[in-house]
Amino acid sequence: MDEAELVARARAGEPAAERALYEAHVERVYRLVYRMAGDDDLARDFTQDTFVRAFEHLHEFRGDARFSTWLHPIAVSVALNGLRKVKRLRHREVELDEGLHVAAGGRAAEPDLKRRLAAAIEALPEGYRTVFLMHDVEGYTHEEIGTAVGVETGTSKAQLSRARAKLRAALADFAGEWAT
Amino acid sequence: MTTEHLDDEPLPEPLLGAARGYHQPPPVPREAMWSAITAERDRRRAARRNLRRLRWGLALAATLVLGIGIGRYGWISGATRAAGGAVAARGAPDAAYRVVTAQYLARTEALLTDFHAESRRGRLDPQFLASTRDLLTTTRLMLDSPAADDPRLGALLQDLELVLAQIAQLPQEPERGGDVDLINQGLSQRSVMSRLRAATPDAGAPTRIQGAL
């Protein structure tokens, strides 16, 4: 069954079609929002909210693009809005906790690089961080990112370039290690 | 920006490898999330049903108050008029539904007639589409009401819901001729307009809604 038929059946309220759509896309949505949130509870909440909203608004999907192209902007919007709320609520505590978590988690291998990289990614502006995680870490194309984030493809490219430059600058003292 | 340089060079592999370990996702908890999604959707459906019932109840309550006034000289067929005050005890809810239904059918007929004319001229303004959405909401309320227990009216309401939903979802851009044609074809094939006119009380028995609505 192709995607258009699956969407049509889901729109008609067929539970098996809804489940099939969920199965086809949940992995990518969950991975993306987990990368953005770094927390399983938040990632679950964002993923669930994404699919609830998608199914509630499925009648608005006109089938001009792929379902994932329509779904991912919902996921990014849900995650960014959710993270802003969380940060407003516990700004200081979260920063401290994440710093400790990253430091503890990074000891297994190349602890200093991982810790410093995590801190540098955290320090990126929200737009840069989102584009960097989507492109360099999760493998989205600039076209997909542009649609999901609501920016032009050129803006996505520029933000990625600036994110990379900031990361290089933040980790400049490691440059000798990867140059060899 | 002064200290940054813009380039398209990917990060060195060791750095990229370390970045892939940033917020490394665990296995996807598919079943747990699916259960939460279905539970949340069930909860929302139930909330919407309750809201519809509440709205319908409020509308009915308001109409019943109105119906008491109407009961004396409005919306009474010859037979019930002869029965005099008995209508207040037995026929008031029926009369109330009929008043609401009559008003709804008249509005829908007017809107669909406008749609036929305006779509031919290629213009459907946002106000028209907003009215359509209002009427779609009313249609769904009607479908949840005892008015839909009548098989003929229930079937008509279902067709009207479909048509109004199609009109409400028409894109804003001018290239919607194909969609409009499909809607008009649907109206014609299912004889919606003639069934609508037949169901409108004015077309049948000598009834009137005086001083109401």
Q: Does the CB of B12 have a partner CB in chain A at under 8 Å?
A: yes
Q: What is the structure's pLDDT at A92? A: 55
**Positive or negative, the Cα torsion across B143, B146, B151, B156?**
negative
The whole-angstrom distance between B15's CA and the closest CA on chain A is 8
Residue B21 lies in a domain: no
Point out the residue among A37, A118, A178 whose CB comes nearest to the CB of B15: A178
Which of B22, B34, B43, B45 would best serve as a mutation to test chain A binding (most A beta carbons within 10 A)? B22
3-state secondary structure of A106: coil
Integer-rounded Cα radius of gyration of chain B:
27
- A164 reaches B (C-beta below 8 A): yes
pLDDT of A105: 44
> Quick one: B57 exposed, middle or buried, by C-beta within 10 A (0-12, 13-18, 19+)?
exposed
The shortest C-alpha distance from A151 to chain B (Å) reads 18
Report whether A79 contacts A33 (CB < 8 A).
yes
Q: Which residue has the tokens 């009216």?
A: B153
Residue B7's pLDDT band (boundaries 50, 70, 90)?
low
- pLDDT greater than 80 at residue B144: no
Which of B21, B28, B41 lies closest to A26 in CB terms? B28
Question: Residues B6, A158: contact at Cβ < 8 Å?
Answer: yes
- Over its C-alpha atoms, chain A yields an Rg (Å, rounded) of 18
CB A33 within 8 A of CB A19: no
The reported pLDDT for the residue numbered A154 is 94
In which band, very low, low, confident or very high, does the pLDDT at B20 lie, cut at 50, 70 and 90? Answer: very high
Q: Which domains does chain A have, with CATH numbers?
A: 1-89 (1.10.1740.10)
Per the domain annotation, does B13 fall within a domain?
A: no
Residue closest to A162 by CA, chosen among B22, B19, B21, B3: B3
Torsional class of B30: left (φ above 0), alpha (ψ -120 to 50), beta (otherwise): alpha
Whether the CB of A19 is below 8 Å from some CB of chain B: the reply is: yes
pLDDT at A178: 65
pLDDT above 90 covers a percentage of chain B that reads: 12
Report yes or no on B27 lying in a domain.
no
Distance CA A173, CA B15 (A): 12
**How much is the pTM?**
0.57
- At residue B206, the pLDDT reads 43
Is residue B42 pLDDT above 60, yes or no? yes
Query: What is the pLDDT of chain B when averaged over all its residues?
Result: 74
The pLDDT of residue B69 is 58
Among A30, A41, A101, A130, most B C-beta atoms within 10 A, so best to mutate, is: A30
pLDDT at A95: 54
Tokens (6 digits) for B197:
């006119």
Q: What is the ipTM of this complex?
A: 0.84
**Does A53 contact chain B (CB < 8 Å)?**
no
Whether the CB-CB separation of A46 and A33 falls below 8 Å is answered with: yes
What's the confidence (pLDDT) of residue A110?
60
Asked whether the beta carbons of A50 and A72 are under 8 A apart, the reply is no
How close does chain A come to B37, measured CA to CA in Å?
6
Yes or no: say if A76 and A130 are a contact pair by the CB < 8 Å rule.
yes
> pLDDT tier at B208 (50, 70, 90 boundaries)?
very low
- Chain A contact for B42, CB < 8 A? no
A76 touches chain B (CB under 8 A): no
Look at residue B62 and tell me if it is in a domain.
Answer: yes
Residue B71 lies in a domain: yes
Q: What 3-state DSSP class applies to B144?
A: coil
- What is residue A94's predicted lDDT score, i.e. its pLDDT? 53
Q: How much is the pLDDT for A134?
A: 97
For helices A67-89 and A91-105, the axis angle rounded to 10 degrees is 110
Domain hosting B58: range is 54-203
Chain B CA closest to residue A166: B4
pLDDT tens for chain A, residues 1 to 180 = 789 999 999 999 899 999 999 999 999 999 999 999 999 999 999 999 999 999 999 999 988 889 999 999 999 999 999 999 888 876 656 555 555 554 444 444 466 888 999 999 999 999 999 999 999 999 999 999 999 999 999 999 999 999 999 999 999 888 777 665
Q: What is the arithmetic mean of pLDDT over B135-164?
A: 83
Residue B49 lies in a domain: no
Please, are residues B23 and A38 in contact by the beta-carbon 8 Å criterion?
A: yes
Q: Is the pLDDT of residue B5 over 60?
A: no
For residues B20 and B6, give the distance between their C-alpha atoms in angstroms, rounded to a whole number.
Answer: 22
Long-range Cβ contact pairs of A56-62 (< 8 A, separation 24 or more): A56/B41, A56/B44, A58/A7, A58/A10, A58/A11, A59/A11, A59/B165, A59/B169, A60/B169, A61/A7, A61/A11, A62/B171
Evaluate whether A17 touches A9 at the Cβ level (below 8 Å).
yes
Q: Which one-letter amino acid corresponds to residue A139?
A: G
Quote the number of domains for chain B: 1
Instruction: Give the pLDDT of residue B205.
Output: 46
Other CB atoms within a 10 A radius of the CB of residue A139 amount to 11
In 3D, which of B138, B113, B114, B134 has the Cα closest to residue B124?
B114
Q: What is the DSSP secondary structure assignment for residue A38, as one 8-state letter?
A: -
Q: Where is B60: in which H helix or E strand? A: helix B30-73
State the pLDDT confidence band at B177, using cuts at 50, 70 and 90: low
Contact A94, A86 (CB under 8 A): yes
CA distance B157 to B125: 24
